[in-house]
Amino acid sequence: MEHNQDSAPALPTSSPTRQRNTPVPPRSNVQTAVPPNLEAFLDYELMKRDLAPSSNEIQIRKQAFVLQAMRMRLTKSNSSAEKRRILREYISHDFLGISAGNDIILPLLQSGPHIVCEQLARFLNTVSSECTGREYLLQLTDGNELIPSLVNSMMSESRDSLYQQNLLGTLQKLSLRRSAQSTMNHMNVLQFLHHLLENSDSLSDYSCEYGTALFMNLCLRTQGRKQCLEHPPHTLEVLLGLLEIDSMQIQTYVNGALYSLLSEHEFRECAKEMRLDESLLYLQKTANEQVRGQINFVLEQMSAGDDEKQEDETASEDGDDEDEENDEEEHEAEEDFDELIPSLPKDSAGINVLLPYFNKRRAAAMAETQAPTNTAKASGGLAGANQHSTPPPINRNENVRQSVSQSIQQDLTRPKTPTSVRTSSPVKQTGNWSEETNVAQSMSKVDDSPAAAVGKKRPGNVPKNDVELREFNTGFTTRPKLPRTPLGDQ
C-alpha cells in the first residue's frame, strides 16, 4: 500500500540542509512531571483498543501521538539500562499484542493513515534495536505476519521517504535473526534491494547503508545467493557502484556480500569475465587499511577453486542466531532531529498523552506494599540495605570477546547491522506535502550527521576514540556492535 501523503517531503537534488527557521507550532500542553516507573502502571489494554484503525480525525492524531510518546520514552531514556527496563515493561504487557496473536501492527500498516503508519514504523525501528525487542517481534505465535507486512509496506513505498527508511531499518535489524532472513529471501527482498541500490546517487545515506547491510545479510543464506545468480552481471554492477561510495560501512557490507557470493562457482566465473579483480585492485589503491584488508579476502575468495570449499559454507544454513545484548555498551545520547508531530490547540502531546492511561490506584497499591520496607530503610533499620540497590553488572559471554579475533570466514557467517561512528539519521526532506503530517524541527543543533550529504561522494567515517577504533581496526575480523536506532525524531 503506497500512501498518498507523506510527512517527509521529496529528496532535493543537492545536499539537504535543515530548515533552521521553520517555526515550531505551539504546544498546547505544558509537560507534566513523569510519574515514577510510569510504564509499569499504564493501562495497555485500553491503549491497544485506542490504537485500533479509525476514521475519526481526532482519534487518528491521538494514535500518532501515543506511538510517538511510547517511542520517545525509549529514545530519551537516561541510560541503556533504563531503555531496556522500559522496553521490558512494554513487552511484559504485550503492548503490540503479538504474544496474544492479536497484534495491532498488521491492521495499521494495511489501512492506517500515513501519519500513524510512520509513527508505527519509527516505533518498530526503535524496538528492533534491542535484542529483547527483536525476540518479541519475531516470536513464533499463530498469525505473526510481521515480516511480510513490513516487506509489503516497504516495497509499496515508491520513494525514499522517512517511512520507507524506517521500515528498511527495522527489517535490517530483524535480519540478525535467521527466521527473518528466510522470510525475506522467500519474498525476494534482494530483488527489491537491487533496484533500490542501483540508484544510490539519489538515495539518502541511511537507505544506502542499511540497504547494503541487509543485502549482505540475505546473501549469507543459500537461497539469497541463488537469487543473485539469476542475473550475476547486474548484481556485480550494483555492488561495484556501491564500492565507489566513500563510506567505510558501505564498503564493508559490499565486500561482505561479494565474499559470500563468490563462494558460488557461477558467480566466480561471471566475476572473472567482468574483471572484478581489476576493479577491486583499482579501488584498493585509494582505500584505507581496513578496506584494503577486506578486498584482499575477497580476491582470495575469487581465486579459490571449486575444490577449495569453505568449511563454513553451510554455517549460515545450520548455525544458531548470534544476536546478543551488549550489556557493557555505553549509553550514548541519541543524535537526531527531534522531529515531532505539530500539535494543534486541542492536542495532548508528549508525556501528557500517556497520563490518561496511568493507573493511579494500582500505583498507589504498589506503593503501600513497599511502604514498610522504605520506612525501615529510611530509619536505618536494615543495615546495608542500600549496598546493592543497583543490580550488579552482567558478565558477558567470553565467546563474544573471542569472536573479535576470528577469521573472515567465520565472521561472514554472521549477519551484521550497520555500525557508524556517527549515527546516520533518515534524511529530512523538503517539498510540497500535506501540512498536517509535516514534521516540525524542535531542536536547533546543527545537522552534521552523515545523512546531510547525498550523492556518490560521502565523507568517510573515521574512528574518534578507542572504542570506535577497535570496531574498525581489524577489517572483517571484528563483529560490529548493534547501532542505536537512527530515527529522525527520537
CATH of the domain at 218: 1.25.10.10
What is the residue type of 174? L
Q: Domain for residue 72, yes or no?
A: yes
User: H-helix or E-strand containing 223?
Assistant: helix 222-228
Claim to verify: residue 197 and residue 116 sit in the same structural domain? no
Which residues, listed in sequence order, are joined to residue 358 by a DSSP beta bridge? 42
Task: Tell me what pLDDT residue 355 has.
Answer: 84
C-alpha grid cell for residue 45? 489494554
Task: Tell me what pLDDT residue 453 has.
Answer: 33
Claim to verify: residue 289 and residue 167 sit in the same structural domain? no
Task: Tell me what pLDDT residue 224 has.
Answer: 97
Q: What is the DSSP letter of 170?
A: H
Task: Tell me what pLDDT residue 39 has.
Answer: 84
Instruction: Tell me the CA distances in angstroms from 293 to 195, 269, 281, 288, 289, one per residue in order.
Output: 29, 23, 11, 9, 6
Decide: residue 13, CB within 10 A, 0-12 exposed, 13-18 middle, 19+ buried. exposed
Residue 349 in contact with residue 65, Cβ under 8 Å? yes
Claim to verify: residue 3 and residue 148 sit in the same structural domain? yes
Claim to verify: residue 206 and residue 304 sit in the same structural domain? yes
Task: Tell me what pLDDT residue 324 has.
Answer: 64
Task: Tell me what pLDDT residue 304 has.
Answer: 84
CA 36, CA 411: separation in Å to the nearest integer? 43
Claim to verify: residue 83 and residue 229 sit in the same structural domain? no
Boundary residue ending a domain (149, 174, 199)? 174
Task: Tell me what pLDDT residue 362 has.
Answer: 60
Residues 6 or more apart whose CB falls under 8 angstroms from that of 383 comprise none
Decide: residue 370, CB within 10 A, 0-12 exposed, 13-18 middle, 19+ buried. exposed
Which residues, listed in sequence order, are joined to residue 339 by a DSSP beta bridge? 441
Q: Domain for residue 222, yes or no?
A: yes
Q: Domain for residue 117, yes or no?
A: yes
Residues 6 or more apart whose CB falls under 8 angstroms from that of 104 comprise 48, 51, 52, 96, 97
Decide: residue 409, CB within 10 A, 0-12 exposed, 13-18 middle, 19+ buried. middle
Claim to verify: residue 214 and residue 247 sit in the same structural domain? yes
* Greatest Cα pair distance in the chain: 81
Claim to verify: residue 139 and residue 250 sit in the same structural domain? no
Residue 245 in contact with residue 251, Cβ under 8 Å? yes
| Tens-digit pLDDT string for the chain (490 aa) | 544 444 433 333 333 333 333 333 444 444 556 666 788 889 999 999 999 999 999 999 999 999 999 999 999 998 999 999 999 999 999 999 999 888 889 899 888 899 999 999 999 999 999 999 999 999 976 667 899 999 999 999 989 999 999 999 999 999 999 999 999 999 999 999 999 999 999 999 999 999 999 999 999 999 999 999 999 999 999 999 999 999 999 999 999 999 999 999 999 999 999 999 999 999 999 889 999 999 999 999 999 876 555 544 444 454 556 666 654 444 444 444 456 666 554 555 677 788 888 875 565 555 556 555 554 444 443 333 333 333 334 343 434 333 333 434 444 444 456 654 333 444 444 333 333 333 333 323 333 333 333 334 444 444 445 544 444 444 444 334 433 333 344 4
Boundary residue ending a domain (318, 344, 375)? 318
How many beta carbons lie within 10 A of that of residue 455, not counting itself? 14
Mapped onto helix, strand or coil, the DSSP state of residue 118 is: helix
Q: What is the DSSP letter of 340?
A: E
CA 42, CA 219: separation in Å to the nearest integer? 42
Task: Tell me what pLDDT residue 268 has.
Answer: 96
Claim to verify: residue 82 and residue 211 sit in the same structural domain? no
Claim to verify: residue 159 and residue 111 sit in the same structural domain? yes
Residues 6 or more apart whose CB falls under 8 angstroms from that of 141 comprise 98, 99, 100, 101
Task: Tell me what pLDDT residue 41 has.
Answer: 84
Claim to verify: residue 49 and residue 141 sit in the same structural domain? yes
> What residue has cell string 522500559?
86
Q: Domain for residue 490, yes or no?
A: no
For the chain, the domain total comes to: 2
CA 25, CA 340: separation in Å to the nearest integer? 10
Residue 224 in contact with residue 216, Cβ under 8 Å? no
Claim to verify: residue 66 and residue 157 sit in the same structural domain? yes
Q: What is the pTM of this model?
A: 0.70
Q: Domain for residue 74, yes or no?
A: yes
Residue 211 in contact with residue 175, Cβ under 8 Å? no
Q: What is the DSSP letter of 431?
A: S
CA 359, CA 300: separation in Å to the nearest integer? 62
Residue 489 in contact with residue 65, Cβ under 8 Å? no
Mapped onto helix, strand or coil, the DSSP state of residue 7 is: coil
Among the listed residues 162, 173, 217, the one whose alpha carbon sits nearest the alpha carbon of residue 193: 217
Task: Tell me what pLDDT residue 219 has.
Answer: 97
Going by their DSSP bridges, the two strands 440-441 and 339-340 should be labelled as antiparallel
Claim to verify: residue 55 and residue 168 sit in the same structural domain? yes
Q: Domain for residue 475, yes or no?
A: no
Decide: residue 471, CB within 10 A, 0-12 exposed, 13-18 middle, 19+ buried. middle
Boundary residue ending a domain (294, 318, 342)? 318
Range of the domain at 246: 190-318
Q: Domain for residue 378, yes or no?
A: no
Q: Domain for residue 271, yes or no?
A: yes
